[in-house]
Structure 1
Amino acid sequence: MISKSNRTLYRSVQLSLLAAGLLLVALFSGCYSFKDVSIPPEVKTARVNYIENKARYINPQLSPQLTEKLRQKINNQTRLTLVQNDDAHYDISGYVSDYSITTSGISQQGNQQQASMNRLTVTVTLIFKNNLDPTKNFEAPISRNFEFSANISLQQAEAQLSETIIQNLTDEIFNRIFSNW
């Protein structure tokens, strides 16, 4: 049997937990949040323009795949409606500004040094316009490096890395736009 003082204590703890829960709901109700995504409640629409490829070397699949993957991620992980008109609340565009290869590892073969690893650097210049709050507009380079064996061609490396390149760049762009960290 529970004493009267224990019941009072139990009820007090329940009320405190309820009050804390209500406080949390009140704090977070002003902004939509999902998986570290933060979107002000007045923002309802977004437009993702085609991400052009302006790099010296052009991977023909990169731009269409990156554009589509970004659209899918925004559609699946936010409450925003994707639109194609000029009055979207968020207007997202950009271009591939760098797609280059450098040697990242060297091995010794007898008296000669040889490249053992290559690095593919892909940079997308992101252009973000917040049509409801122009003070939030920005243009920023988003760059990722991808290592591959020097024993394979660039075309072979692209075939192996394509999915990783698209996923990593999409995540970086999405996080730069929607995360508050």
Structure 2
Amino acid sequence: MQKVFLRFWCIVVVICLTWQSCGVKYSFTGGSIPENMKTVNVQFFENIAPLVYTPLSQNFTEALKERIRSQSRLSQVDGDAHAMFEGMITGYDIAPVAVEANTDRAAMNRLTITVRVKYTNQLDETGESSFEQSFSQFREFSGMIQSQEETITKEIINLLTEDIYNKAFANW
């Protein structure tokens, strides 16, 4: 048993040393950020969706900043940065997904938020790691949205920022 345990740790050490020798830093949070990337700028994401939830722009922008702050070593700056995030909230839609029997009321609804993101890696001269893409996530709920809107939007924002972070820094 001790030999298996020792062999396991030897493999882990070899893998870590191999990763250290590459020009990219890997972390156990899923990020692979180039070593020479030091700064990031996250612009305000304006809400241009036809249906507007007032705090959404601020909440989304701050959540994306917080995700980057908590899962990377990048310093957030205003102005020019090695990595730039900009975009807008393009969709905030509520649609019925199940109807109650013998009525025309929705038993279950779906809130979908769509965000258009432009990520620019200023250090990548080829532009291959930069992207412009829409991200969507949803949550289903029953009852009236007003009593649950804050909680549901936070859940969706968490999923969106995870997708965006992974696309930018984990090459997913």
Please confirm whether the aligned pair reaches a TM-score higher than 0.5, indicating the same fold. yes
Q: Which has the larger radius of gyration?
A: 1
TM-score range, shorter chain: 0.7 to 0.9
1:105 is matched with: 98
Using the aligned pairs only, state the percent identity: 33
1:172 is matched with: 163
Which has more helix, going by share of residues?
1
Q: Which string of whole-angstrom CA distances, capped at 9 and with x for unpartnered residues, describes residues 36-61 of structure 1?
A: 11111111111111111111111111
2:37 is matched with: 43
| Distance 1:81-1:102 versus aligned 2 partners, 3 A rule | same
Structure 2 CA distance for aligned equivalents of residues 39 and 80 of structure 1: 9
From 121, 125, 140, give the equivalent of 1:130: 121
Q: Which ranges in structure 2 are unaligned for 5 or more consecutive residues?
A: none
1:131 shift after superposition: 0.6
1:156 counterpart SS class: coil
1:21 shift after superposition: 5.6
Q: Which string of whole-angstrom CA distances, capped at 9 and with x for unpartnered residues, describes residues 59-98 of structure 1?
A: 1111111111111121121011111122x11001111011
Q: How many residues align?
A: 162
From 47, 54, 61, give the equivalent of 1:53: 47
Contact 1:36/1:180 (8 A) holds in 2:
no
Contact 2:130/2:168 (8 A) holds in 1:
no
| Distance 1:144-1:107 versus aligned 2 partners, 3 A rule | same
TM-score, normalization: structure 1? 0.80
Structure 1 segment 137-176 matched on structure 2, within 5 A: 137-149=130-142, 151-152=143-144, 154-176=145-167
- Aligned-partner residue type, residue 100 of structure 1: D
Structure 2 CA distance for aligned equivalents of residues 165 and 21 of structure 1: 35
1:163 shift after superposition: 2.4
